[in-house]
Amino acid sequence: MKRYPLVISATAAGLAGVLSFHSHSISEALRSPSTNSATPPRGGSHTTPPKTAAPAKAGSPGRAVAPTSSPPGSSTTRATGTLEQYGYGQLSVRVTMAGGKITNVTLAKLQTADTYSQQLASYVVPILRREVLHAQSAKINGLSGATYTSEAYAYSLQSALDKLRK
């Protein structure tokens, strides 16, 4: 795969890269029946417009995973976020809430195009998880420096939270 020119533009641009450049080849590389079942294919062909629908998709209907019903006497709820494509793979997160607080965030699914991306994801995801959990204790309000993985993580997390708020 001749990645060089794509990486130059997309990594420097991060968001723009994720939204427009990478989705083509990667989503094709990753396409399989199992990966398409959770999320409608997006950006799979060159005629597909860039993923500009991102802000709207938190509320996108039709593929909501119902929150796990709470056991009687417990306020613990869980939901799995949408499967998000990012530059080099796709992921979804599963969030657990108890008493109005996020008590855990785990990866429900992670598929990457290559082993290097797998390593990167396994490296970045713990930071993101900590960030989410720490955000509640107001230690930091945000994280600067992560790129692809963090966006997919944030989108999937947001969709999971939206489901729990319904």
Partner 1 sequence: MSRIRRGDLLLETAPEEIHRVLDLCEDVRRMTGGWFDPWAMPGGVDPTGLVKGWAAERALDTLRAHGALAACVNAGGDLAVLGRPASGGPWRMGIRHPWRPDALACTVFVERALATSGTYERGLHLFDPHAHRPSSRAVSASVAGPSLAIADGLATALCVGGDDVLDRLAQIPGYEGYLVRADGTEAWSEGMPFAS
Chain residues that interact with partner 1, rule: CB under 8 A? 5, 7-18, 120, 123-124, 126-127, 130-131, 138-151, 154
d(CA 108, CA 43) in angstroms, rounded, equals 22
CB closer to partner 1, 74 vs 141: 141
State which residue, 63 or 139, has the beta carbon closest to partner 1: 139
Kindly state the smallest distance separating residue 105's Cβ from partner 1, in Å. 15
The conformation of residue 95, written as its DSSP 8-state character, comes to E
End-to-end CA distance of the chain: 43
State which residue, 65 or 120, has the beta carbon closest to partner 1.
Answer: 120
Smallest distance, Å, CB 165 to partner 1? Answer: 16
Q: How far is the CB of 69 from partner 1 (least distance, A)?
A: 30
Q: Which is nearer to partner 1, 103 or 140 (CB)?
A: 140
3-class DSSP string for 98-136: ECCEEEEEEEEEEEECCHHHHHHHHHHHHHHHHHHHHHC
Find residue 104's DSSP bridge partners.
Answer: 96
Q: Least distance in Å: CB of 49 to partner 1?
A: 14
Query: Whose CA is closest to 163, among 85, 84, 89, 93?
Result: 93
